[in-house]
Structure 1
């Protein structure tokens, strides 16, 4: 486990797997360095996979004040610079769920050194003033299971039947998620979720989703595809929002194909003016 200093001096814990061109993978709400590991291991023979724990997610630090996407963008920039190394190798940026939203913000704010962007079901619908009262109720409960239900139903918009079927998390995991998702909600509530803001992202983008995911995620991806000038789509059959856990081989195969295509195009393109 390594430590990278992010924005405002926040320490970010990072695991690295494999060797090759760097790939930085951002996990979703309540996740950690483990969240992308099953996918990363499928690609470690070709790429150096960087697996950080985002701020507010153990064992990374917190920082002071309310959580914002701008603060996480600074963290991502520090991680990109570390992954690029002294040779300034372009980095493939990947995000899942809330990590996908962070990746979009980071690529829009500062695309320097980003070779490509892959996002799996960014929950842009989880945004805006409607989440203010949700955040208040979330903060008011000290029951991690009740908080998890609030987050799943009222923030992520997961189907009630799916939420009811989810087993309770172990107490320590639930406690860490309660902390992390509360901060996540702060950023969501202050954001407008408009995909049009990302129209300036000009690197190749892969938009991934599960064929069985819940509404309004497919509509969000449609709007993103319309906004982004170089967007590709990948719909994974039989999968929902959790494909990185339920079908890591499938996710890895689609991601590997996209990265190889981007890397091949980069090698064939004329040298960039410096």
Structure 2
């Protein structure tokens, strides 16, 4: 029997009623309020819903996240949270308004295919890259600049290798943004640059 994977949600919302929803998924290495602290100011324009692992460290269940999207939301994921967001966007594209992956990891892209690390270079079960390629909403992948040491304090088990973001962007038909002088959390290291890209994406 599959164990349920509860989610913890923090809401930042100072926007006018009916503002666009943004669901932001983080991994187990730091709380969402820290991971996305640089995006807090965007709550004046958007309703930001931070979603991540439960206290026991178990990750976010993609099916639960798909239900959370409900009638539609912009979807953002960081690190392993980006992998979850990618699965949900492929499985429920009708609920997604845009997809942003910040330093995605735990998946690799080869010859237009997506696979989990350690698995054969074939489509990961449940992940349909074709659904992402044909989606009519915008997609953005953001990486820190290559050559900068990753933040060892976070202890990230999946440091993103140089060139990986471009490969994933090609596989799903996304725009790629490389943020100079930023590490594994470009949205934290250089929030101004990332926030500008996010506002443009969410405001169309």
> Normalization by structure 1: what TM-score?
0.56
1:217 is aligned to 161
Kindly indicate whether the alpha-carbon contact (under 8 Å) linking 1:91 and 1:114 is maintained by their aligned counterparts in 2: yes
5+ unaligned residues in a row in structure 2: which ranges? 110-115, 149-158
Aligned partners of 2:20 and 2:162: how far apart in 1? 31
Q: Is the partner of 1:112 in helix, strand or coil?
A: helix
Say whether the 8 Å CA contact 2:104–2:160 is kept in structure 1.
no
CA distance in 2, matches of 1:30, 1:192: 27
For the residue of structure 2 that corresponds to 1:199, the secondary structure is helix
Aligned counterpart, 2:32: 33
1:88-107 to 2 correspondences below 5 Å: 88=71, 90-107=72-89
The reply on whether 1:12 has 2:7 as its aligned counterpart is yes
Please say if 1:244 is aligned against 2:187. Answer: yes
User: CA distance change for structure 1 residues 61 and 36 in 2, over 3 Å: closer, same or farther?
Assistant: closer
SS of aligned partner of 1:218? coil
SS, match of residue 239 in structure 1:
coil
Q: Counterpart in 2 of 1:205?
A: 139
Residue in structure 1 matching 2:69, options 80, 83, 88: 80
CA RMSD of aligned residues (A): 3.1
Deviations along 1:62-114, whole A, 9 cap, x unmatched?
4xxxx7xxx72112112212xxxxxx3x2000001111111111111221211
Please state which structure has a larger fraction of its residues in strand. Answer: 2
Q: Distance in 1 between matches of 2:40 and 2:191?
A: 9
Q: CA deviation at 1:206?
A: 0.5
**Cα distance change of structure 1 residues 188 and 102 upon mapping to structure 2, 3 Å threshold:** farther
Call closer, same or farther: CA 1:115–1:125 in 2, change over 3 Å: closer
Q: Secondary structure at the match of 2:38?
A: helix
CA distance in 2, matches of 1:235, 1:102: 21
Residue 94 of structure 2 aligns to a residue in which SS? coil
Cα distance change of structure 1 residues 190 and 79 upon mapping to structure 2, 3 Å threshold? farther
Q: Which runs of 5+ in 1 are unaligned?
A: 1-6, 82-87, 128-186, 262-274
The one-character-per-residue Cα deviations of 1:208-231 (angstroms, maximum 9, x if unpaired) are 1112357863322222222223x1
Q: TM-score, normalised by structure 2?
A: 0.72
Cα deviation, 1:194-249, whole Å, max 9, x if unaligned, reads 699523211310011112357863322222222223x1121111112122322223
Structure showing greater Rg: 1
Q: Matched residue pairs, number? A: 178
